[in-house]
Amino acid sequence: CKNVPSCPHKYFTVYHLFFCPSAFLVSMCPRLKMVFSGDLFYLSCDNSVGESGVKWYFNNKEEKQTNKTWKFAVASPKHSGSYQCEHNGQKSDNFSLDVMGKPHEHHASLTIKTGHPVMQYGHSVMLQLDNEDGLEGWVCWVHREGKKTRKIKFKLENSGHAIFQTTKLEVPETIFWCTDKSQDKRSNQVIVRTSAQDISLEMYPFPAVVGEPLTLKCIAWGTDQISDTVFYKDNTIIMHAANPTYKITDVSESTQGPYRCNATYTHKARTSGPAYQRVSDIQDVFVKEPPIKAVLSEGNSLSCSCPECPSNVSYHWYHKNDDQPWGLTGSPSSDMTPQKRGTYACKAVWNNMRSALSNSYNFQTNNSNPAVIAICLVVVGMLAVVIGLALYYQRKKRNTASK
């Protein structure tokens, strides 16, 4: 973990053990070289005795937090500043925290390929890491609650993506993320929680994004035979139906809060007896601000812009057909002319960051260049003339023969 000592030395060394035995340290776990909006991390008042009775100060103002460990479920720029902890009248030195400004997308994407954000205790998930610039030199990390951060080894079989399975999930909350060797470039975090219950409440995406849809799903492990579902927020029923899915079309700050579900279900192999009825663990829904988004506009060609981005940006263009994944296409210019049918979109790219994908544009071949259309019409016209002449001479020859 990243520590800031209470004594006037840069690092907590043997000097502190002899000359500052009661020094307090503010540490950050997991250790993140850069903290982005939406990250999960903890600040801890190290060397203090007990789990409570600690005073926390943010920019020299006392906070209500009194636990030894302070959890930041969704980091935002408002958390940037100076932190101190105090125990028995003794304060730590300042710990400076800088959360990156406007939310944006990460250099690489880490997603759950197989599994869910909430898993049964002792199970595991498959994670997929994607980076369109390649993954040579990239590593992944795991931070388990109350334990050290460890490196994850995986086999790089493809230059653009890697898939790996986690070890057994045996703590309430586990954080995964990936970086390049320098840790200047990194992916988003993936947080996986565990539950000992027979059903779980899943959230997609996690954390929720303001202005975007959010899906809550009640899952019964080992079966999809759910006949009745009740969703709660703050112990208030928000939906009672046979459908095990609850959708929020437009997330806002008020969406935040504790949710749970109650499900009535059975198993296909069970032919008699009453249905099971179980309640999930409470899951907290956290909300983060939407990332900066590029804007695609249509004219003589397609143009990509990003009004909220820095000035030194380049652009990546993407193309796909139907349900295929997006693929890089074109040059890093702000303008491009579509050459093949399909859907196009773009992103702004700068330093180690990028914007969210822009709105999309569907290009069809009948929207082709007028010159191409003219050439096609000429060719069709010439073919029509040739066919017409052939029919004329064939008819003329037939009439001559009949005479």
Structure tokens at 98: 């800088």
Q: What angle do CA 35, 37, 42 make, to 5 degrees?
A: 55
Q: Could you give the CA distance from residue 204 to residue 241 in angstroms, rounded to a whole number?
A: 20
Exposed / middle / buried, residue 321 (Cβ in 10 Å: 0-12, 13-18, 19+): exposed
CB 187 within 8 A of CB 108: yes
Q: What is the mean pLDDT of residues 353-370?
A: 79
Region 228-241: mean pLDDT is 96
Name the token pair of 133.
């610039």
Report which residue type is found at 35.
V
Q: Please report the domains of the chain, with CATH numbers, ordered by start residue.
A: 25-100 (2.60.40.10), 105-196 (2.60.40.10), 200-290 (2.60.40.10), 295-363 (2.60.40)
Given a cut of 90, is residue 397 above it in pLDDT? no
pLDDT value of position 17: 45
Q: Render pLDDT for 135-159 as a digit per residue (tens, 0 to 9).
A: 988 999 999 987 789 999 877 766 7
Asked if the model's pLDDT at residue 280 lies above 80, the reply is: yes
Contact 201, 280 (CB under 8 A): yes
- Answer whether 71's CB lies under 8 Å from 45's CB: no
Q: What is the pLDDT of residue 371?
A: 60
Give 8's Cβ-side CA count (13 Å radius): 0
Mean of pLDDT values over 113-133: 93
Does residue 396 have a pLDDT over 50?
yes
DSSP 33: S
Query: Is residue 263 predicted with pLDDT exceeding 50?
Result: yes
Model confidence pLDDT, tens digit, residues 80-89: 999 999 988 8
Bridge pairing between strands 118-120 and 190-195 = parallel
pLDDT at 258: 96
Mean pLDDT of 340-366: 89
Asked if omega into 207 is within 30° of 0 (cis), the reply is yes
**Backbone angles phi and psi of 17, in degrees to 5:** -65, -35
Distances from the Cα of 138 to the Cαs of 16, 110, 129, 366, 392, in angstroms? Answer: 36, 12, 10, 43, 72
pLDDT in tens, 1-57: 544 433 333 344 444 444 454 467 899 999 899 899 899 999 999 876 667 789 999
**Predicted confidence (pLDDT) at residue 331 exceeds the cutoff of 90:** no
Residue range 163-168: mean pLDDT, rounded: 93
Band of residue 112 on the pLDDT scale cut at 50, 70, 90 = very high
What confidence score (pLDDT) does residue 351 get?
79
**109 pLDDT exceeds 50?**
yes
* The predicted structure's pLDDT at residue 48: 66
pLDDT tens digits along 245-255: 999 999 999 99
381: helix, coil or strand?
A: helix
pLDDT at 323: 82
pLDDT digits (tens, 9 = 90+) for 188-213: 999 999 999 999 999 998 889 999 99
**pTM surpassing 0.75?**
yes
Whether the predicted pLDDT of 367 surpasses 50 = no
Q: Bigger pLDDT: 381 or 315?
A: 315
Q: What percent of the chain has pLDDT over 70?
A: 88
Looking at residue 111, its amino acid is T
| Average pLDDT score over the chain | 86
Query: What distances in angstroms separate CA 45 from CA 13, 65, 68, 195, 284, one per listed residue?
Result: 17, 12, 5, 28, 24
Question: What residue has token string 């773009």?
Answer: 346
